[in-house]
Structure 1
Amino acid sequence: MSRRSLSTRESILTAAERLFAEHGITAVSHRQIGEAAGQGNNFAVGYHFGDRTALVRAILDRHAEPIERHRVRMIESIHGRGEVRDWIACLVRPLTEHLAELGSPTWFARFGAQVMTDPVLRRVVVDDAMSGVTIQRVVERLNHCLPALPVPVHLERGELARHLISHGCAERERALAEGTGRQDTWERTATGLIDAITGLWTAPVTPAGR
């Protein structure tokens, strides 16, 4: 791929991530993305990425490597002996550390939250994410720490945890972009999310019928 083509792809990805984050996945057309990316050709987005799902996946792939690098480092530091909170941190901190490294403004957290509201893309993204070796390792160890938790409750709390991470980071990113709310660091945001999700995972289970 030529340098010019790579530059065009990067411009499109940056524009698409921002527009999707600000307006929603279905509210933005390929033409609008192309214009925001400085492309005079209305078919540039389709030429480089095909359909909307492929474009969303390309944006996610763009951020996947640095997030994965943080997660690998955290898993290695635990040496397999972690407790519930340690493994939950492996779900939260790779994203918040990546967002902190990007500086401000960023759009990736809000983009991710928008994707999670789309029923088709959400399933694609969750399936892709859960197929990763490191995520599977974290989930396996988290389940090992909570052997008495019924499988349906595991699944339900995992879903709730994903929403807390996604929307919690999106709200923090929005506050940073707008200059509103508390000026917490990403480190403090991560700690708050880990506290909340640890409480979620370790909460007692109400017996059926009560």
Structure 2
Amino acid sequence: MAGRTSRSGRAEGTRETILTVAERMFAEHGVFAVSNELRQAMPAETGDSADVRDWVACLVRPDTDHLAELGSPTWFARFATQVMTDPVLREIMIDETFGPTIQQTLDGLNRCLPDLPLPVRIERGEMARHLLMHMLAERERALAGNTQATASTWPEYASGLIDAITGIWLAPVTPSTSHGRS
């Protein structure tokens, strides 16, 4: 019981620290201080592309470019990943980041996948978001710890992420009544 109480106290202390840092970051930079010019320019340049990879790049490259601009070490991706696990902070983060440019990008992606059933689309969107956030945090951790990173630069890393997330979107759909798929 003492171990559980101690762990609970540490968890509460960690939560308070996260909330304090979150409040400061929200005030100073917004949740995602990603270049709005880049985030807005990419969908416009992508136009009416029917290539899923082009639209996935619109979601990935602004984040990786931002992290590259910050230099190393950074904590932003690791912090954002932790914030997304808190139900209240997650809603704030989603509200802060979801705007017309993200909607335009998602609309472009959806146009490329007209036959993908809505439940599968929602599920894969969650998978893609988790993969993106966690892998950005992992690269950030590796760079901060001077451990072997899988790619030598953020742009190379972005290309690998774009490939993987594109694979998620283009994977075959296995019919299953448990997921409401048809």
Q: 1:143 to 1:149 in 2, by over 3 A?
A: same
Matches within 5 A, 1:120-199: 120-130=88-98, 132-182=99-149, 184-199=152-167
Q: What amino acid sits opposite 2:30 in the alignment?
A: D
Residue 99 of structure 1 corresponds to which residue in structure 2?
67
Count of residue correspondences: 168
Deviation of 1:25 after TM superposition, in Å, equals 9.2
Letter in 2 for 1:58: A
TM-score by length of 2: 0.81
Contact 1:24 1:114 in 2 (8 A): no
Give the secondary-structure state (helix, strand or coil) at the position aligned to 1:148: coil
**Highest relative contact order (Cα 8 Å, sep 6+), 1 or 2?**
2
Contact 1:115 1:122 in 2 (8 A): yes
Structure 2 matches for 1:102-121, cutoff 5 A?
Answer: 102-121=70-89
Question: For residue 166 of structure 2, what is the amino acid of its counterpart?
Answer: T
How far residue 80 of structure 1 moved from its aligned partner, in angstroms, is 2.5
Q: Structure 1 residues 65, 188: closer, same or farther in 2, change over 3 A?
A: closer
Query: For residues 117-175 of structure 1, what are the alpha-carbon distances to aligned partners after superposition, in whole Å with 9 as ceiling and x for unaligned?
Result: 21221122123322x00000000110111000011111111111111111100000000
Structure 2 unaligned runs (5+)?
A: 1-9
Structure 1 regions of 5+ residues with no counterpart? 1-22, 34-44, 46-51
2:33 alignment counterpart: 64
- Contact 2:31–2:96 under 8 Å retained in 1: no
Structure 2 Cα separation of the partners of residues 119 and 112 of structure 1: 13
Q: 1:199 to 1:60 in 2, by over 3 A?
A: farther
Q: Could you list the per-position Cα deviations for residues 20-44 of structure 1 after superposition, in whole angstroms to 9, with x for gaps in the alignment?
A: xxx99961646x99xxxxxxxxxxx
State percent identity of aligned pairs.
52
Q: Distance in 2 between matches of 1:196 and 1:151?
A: 21
For the residues of structure 1 that align with 2:68 and 2:30, how far apart are their CA atoms? Answer: 18
CA distance in 2, matches of 1:60, 1:203: 36
1:78, 1:24 → 2: CA distance?
44
CA RMSD in angstroms comes to: 2.8
Contact 1:75 1:90 (C-alpha < 8 Å) held by counterparts: yes
Asked if the contact 2:30/2:96 (under 8 Å) is kept, the reply is: no
| TM superposition score normalised by structure 1 | 0.71
Deviation at 1:81, TM superposition (A): 2.4
Q: 1:143 and 1:118 mapped to 2: Cα distance?
A: 28
